């Protein structure tokens, strides 16, 4: 599982979506504990 901060997620959103579509998990974190986890997206719009 990959962990990225909000800034990195905004900068690399397209790449992160492609990875999620391929079944890779990622966690987007803020200063506080993880805020959102994306798992096994079937399409770029299926979060």
Indicate the pTM of the whole model. Answer: 0.59
Task: Name the β-bridge partners of 27.
Answer: 3, 37
The angle at the Cα of 40, spanning 46 to 13, to the nearest 5 degrees, equals 65
Sheet holding 36-38, edge to edge: 2-5, 26-29, 36-38
pLDDT at 28 over 60: yes
Question: What is the CATH code of the structural domain delimited by 2-38?
Answer: 3.40.1620
In the chain, domain spans: 2-38
In the predicted model, what is the mean pLDDT of the chain?
Answer: 78
Q: Find out whether 26 and 19 touch, Cβ atoms under 8 Å.
A: yes
Residue 43: pLDDT band (50, 70, 90) is: low
Q: What sign does the CA torsion over 14, 10, 31, 42 have? A: negative
């Amino acid at each position: 599982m990959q962990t990225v901060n909000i800034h990195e997620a905004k900068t690399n959103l397209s790449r992160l979506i492609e990875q999620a579509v391929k079944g890779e998990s990622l966690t987007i974190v803020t200063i506080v504990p993880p805020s959102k986890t994306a798992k096994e997206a079937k399409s770029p719009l299926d979060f």
